[in-house]
Amino acid sequence: MRADYLFTSESVSEGHPDKVSDQISDAIVDLFLSKDDQARVACETLTTTQRVVLAGEIRCKGVFENGAWADGALEEIERTVRNVVKEIGYEQSGFHWETFEFENYLHAQSDHIAQGVDASGNKDEGAGDQGIMFGFACDETPDLMPATLDYSHKILQRLAADRKSGAAPFLEPDSKSQVTLKYENGKPVACTAVVVSTQHAPGYHEGEKEAELKAYVRKVVGEILPEGFLSDATRWHINPTGKFEIGGPDGDAGLTGRKIIVDTYGGAAPHGGGAFSGKDPTKVDRSAAYVTRYLAKNIVAAGLAKRCTIQVAYAIGVSEPLSLYVDTHGTGTVADEKLEEAIRQVAARKLGGLTPRGIREGLHLNKPIYRQSAAYGHFGRTAAGDAFPWEKTDLAADLREAVG
């Protein structure tokens, strides 16, 4: 590993068009899981000027059975979608929660896919698709996340909170951030560049209003980054293109699953390729990415490594993973092969294994907990209730014991 370098990660806000789509898709997952904890959902969302379109495959008792919708189900789906957009804050002529056109093309899950996933007879529940999934953790922040991504997320979360509270009434929902940090001896020590582009109320691109917006952004960034990270050498790019009044789905079409690096580790670790939002937890794109994060985070929390990447792979319809790989990037206190064996032991004992069923049941994933994961990252998060169970560090002692 290089010891001295610059590294950059970006984030996008809940009002970014792709994130609007992600949140709608996950709100549909939550809606169906609230009705049937064994629901199957693969929901894709398109957002554009005054239009939201759903498409995908579902199966849900009491909502959609034998190819027919239950009474009131279609209306509840539309209410759910409009409520997501309302909570984000879109009340603009080009995208308004109350007046956009809505189309729903959700339909029954393929029987040929279902036969591979469902448990039957002596066959355990299989993976919903083939694929590779990665989990990662590092000791750069208290959340055990890459610092560049952690700060990028937190900047935009603050902007959204201030917009909704009225503390920054000139902000609109769509925004992006990017943080570049200087690393020395593998640790972040300074911020060399900050980029923040935020949609704004009319007139905040020039004169005193522009100065007010830029001063506000500088203040927020200063409060998010550690003391001493900002200096006269830090380069600032705040709304570098100028006016940003047209944003969200009116400015750029949004699709579910287009921000997978924002969702995961900001480029500091590999990503398997599959998106998370809109998928129920039988889909290993989602659940296996969560369990590998859970295991990697516990390895770092246990003091067994400062940096840990885990990969698993699955075949559609097959329950056991095809492979398990651990890389501690030269920071481990024991051999990576020993950590792989410890993971197998601990996962079998505490989760019921790394099968799709073991992951779902071990992490209690069959609950409506996904909407809040669909903006500001799926990892490094905490929330009240049952959300983000993959962020717990309750396996640290077990892993230490397993490696002796």
Residues 286-313 pLDDT 10s: 999 999 999 999 999 999 999 999 999 9
CB-side exposure of 312: number of CA atoms within 13 Å?
31
Q: Considering the domain boundaries, does residue 118 fall inside one?
A: no
The number of domains in the chain is 2
Sheet holding 5-12, edge to edge: 5-12, 171-184, 187-200, 235-238
Shared-domain flag, residues 169 and 135: no
Question: Ramachandran region of residue 380, left (φ > 0), alpha (ψ -120 to 50) or beta?
Answer: left
- Residue 267 within a domain: no
341 shares its domain with 398: yes
E strand or H helix that includes residue 397: helix 396-402
Asked if residue 388 and residue 304 are part of one domain, the reply reads: yes
Please say whether the dihedral angle defined by the alpha carbons of residues 13, 19, 20 and 22, taken in this order, is positive or negative. negative
Half-sphere exposure of 6 (CA within 13 A, CB side): 9
Domain assignment present for residue 98? The answer is no
135 and 158 in a single domain? The answer is: no
The binding site for Mg(2+) consists of 18
Of 196, 224, 246, which closes a domain?
246
Tell me, yes or no, whether 345 lies in a domain.
Answer: yes
User: For residues 198 and 243, what is the distance between their CA atoms, to the nearest angstrom?
Assistant: 10
Residue 160, sorted as left (phi over 0), alpha (psi -120 to 50) or beta, turns out to be alpha
- Of 191, 219, 246, which one is at a domain's C-terminal end? 246
What's residue 113's pLDDT?
57
Q: Residue 302 and residue 308: Cα distance in Å, rounded?
A: 12
Neighbours of 222 (CB within 10 A): 13
One domain, residues 169 and 231: yes
Q: Hey, which residues are catalytic here?
A: 16, 18-19, 44, 57, 176, 244, 252-253, 258-259, 279, 283, 285
CA–CA distances in Å: residue 341 to residues 288, 338, 346:
18, 5, 9
**Domain membership flag for residue 38:** no
The rounded radius of gyration (Å) of the Cα atoms in the chain is: 22
Is 380 strand, coil or helix? coil
pLDDT of residue 116: 56
For 118, residues 6+ apart whose C-beta sits below 8 A from its C-beta are 125, 126
Give me the tens of pLDDT residue by residue for the chain, a chain 404 residues long: 789 999 999 999 999 999 999 999 999 999 999 999 999 999 999 999 999 999 999 999 989 888 889 999 999 999 999 999 999 999 999 999 999 999 999 998 766 555 556 655 555 677 878 899 999 999 999 999 999 999 999 999 999 999 999 999 999 999 999 999 999 999 999 999 999 999 999 999 999 999 999 999 999 999 999 999 999 999 999 999 999 999 999 999 999 999 999 999 999 999 987 999 999 999 999 999 999 999 999 999 999 999 999 999 999 889 999 999 999 999 999 999 999 999 999 999 999 999 999 999 999 999 999 999 999 999 999 888 899 999 999 999 999 999 98
Look up residue 88 and give its two tokens. Answer: 């984000």
Tell me: do 193 and 215 sit in the same domain. Answer: yes
d(C-alpha 93, C-alpha 193), whole Å: 34
Q: How many angstroms separate the CA atoms of 313 and 323, rounded?
A: 5
**Is 257 a domain residue?**
no
For 107-133, give the DSSP string: EEPPHHHHHHHS-BTTBPPPBSS-EEE
- What does the alpha-carbon distance between residue 230 and residue 190 come to, in Å, rounded to a whole number? 7
End-to-end CA distance of the chain: 27
Say what angle helices 336-350 and 284-301 make with each other, to 10 degrees: 120
On whether both 300 and 350 belong to a single domain, the answer is: yes
CATH number assigned to the domain comprising residue 295: 3.30.300.10
The predicted model scores a pTM of 0.95
* 333 shares a domain with 359: yes
Predicted pLDDT of residue 115: 53
Residues 388, 382: contact at Cβ < 8 Å?
A: yes
Same domain for 135 and 199, yes or no, is no
Give strand pairing partners of 198. 175
Which of 191, 218, 246 is a domain's end point? 246
Return binding residues for L-methionine.
Answer: 57, 109, 252, 283
Whether 298 and 386 map to the same domain: the answer is yes
pLDDT at 123: 54
Classify 242 as helix, strand or coil.
Answer: coil
Is there a single domain that holds both residue 315 and residue 394?
yes
Which segments are annotated as binding site?
16, 18, 44, 57, 109, 174-176, 243-244, 252, 258-259, 275, 279, 283
Q: Is residue 314 part of a domain?
A: yes
218 and 201 in a common domain: yes
Residue span of the structural domain in which 300 resides: 131-139+284-402
Q: Is residue 218 part of a domain?
A: yes
